[in-house]
Amino acid sequence: MREPSETGSADGGRRGVLGAVATTAAAVAVGAAGCPSPAAPAAGEAPARTLGRTGAQVEPVSLGGEGILRTTGRHREAVPVILEALRLGVRYCDTAPAYQQSQDYYGEAFRAAGPKAREQVFLASKTHARDRDGALRLLDDSLRRLGTDHLDSWQLHDLREIEELDAIFGKRGAIEAVEQARADGRVRHVGITGHHDPQILLEAMRRYPVDTVLCAVNPADPARLPFLTTVVEEARRRGVGVIGMKIMAAGRLLQDRAAGAAELIRYAASHADTVIIGCSSIAEVRENLGARSLSFPMPPAERAALEARVAPRAGRYDTFKAG
């Protein structure tokens, strides 16, 4: 089974040397008394959006499960990144079994932040198993690592081929695990994810009433195999929540100076309910979550101009799509 790669680090390659987890946790822990409430946004921040039919309130920018979180043995750097996001009131957190120790870092951060920290966020993890039993094993392992008794969203991860959908929706497929986990309370909502072929996500939505879809959203998208005019439009028609990823094309758009981080976030969050960004340091968390104060949505003319600017090199920014 391949290990999917989706959210990417940001997305810029900035790095910082952080202190020990215990020191940082003491400084930024959001314990039972101090855990930020997901009520009203701070002054100057964009209002919360509703994540489709889940009813969850999310902000334009959320914490991705990659960056420093997609590593092994980097607790001293990774856990403080999550703690800082919790301190700043992040509402949606992304992770997956395929992201190395990402789930372990989240579990450690929730324990350090206090008993109410986990309940302040909409927590999404994934399964890359296509069969019922394999998916249930992954789910139980995820819950153990995350230190929680349920996921707010369990996502069928990195869908690419029709054969995968046939396995998932066939006898003893992963969809049976989804149904069982929803019935017993281990899972509240179900989602799908993919960045390879929009037609596969469209077909998955036809086969099952999913609650969310996580897909690629950046200004190179319209040039080839677009998700925006297919998956996102269909999700909106069905009331499915939309989460954007690949918003900086794994950092290539920044590296080429084709666009700035702020305009890429504004672009993606103008199409999605929230966008997830992998972070590599506390400074990146502050910068990315600080984008909640940007002006949303980006006007259509500005979006079109950004797409036109990126189009000549769009092929460099969509290498994750089908060949």
Query: Tens digit of pLDDT for each residue in 156-180?
Result: 999 999 999 999 999 999 999 999 9
Dihedral of the CA atoms 102, 26, 12, 9 (nearest 10)? 10
pLDDT at 27: 40
pLDDT at residue number 42: 53
> In the prediction, which pLDDT does 44 show?
58
Region at 269 (left for phi over 0; alpha for psi -120 to 50; beta for the rest): alpha
Q: How far, in Å, CA of 118 to CA of 277, rounded?
A: 19
Contact 110, 81 (CB under 8 A): no
pLDDT at position 45 is 64
- Name residue 295's amino acid: S
How many angstroms separate the CA atoms of 193 and 190, rounded? 10
> What is the rounded CA–CA span in Å between residue 205 and residue 240?
9
Distant-in-sequence, close-in-space partners of 292: CB < 8 Å, separation ≥ 6: 41, 45, 46, 59, 60, 61
Which residues of the chain, if any, have pLDDT below 70? 1-45
* Sign, Cα dihedral of 96, 215, 119, 286: positive
Contact call for residues 37 and 260 (beta carbons, < 8 A): no
253-277: pLDDT as tens digits: 999 999 999 999 999 999 999 999 9
Strands 49-50 and 57-58: antiparallel
Q: What does pTM read for this prediction?
A: 0.89
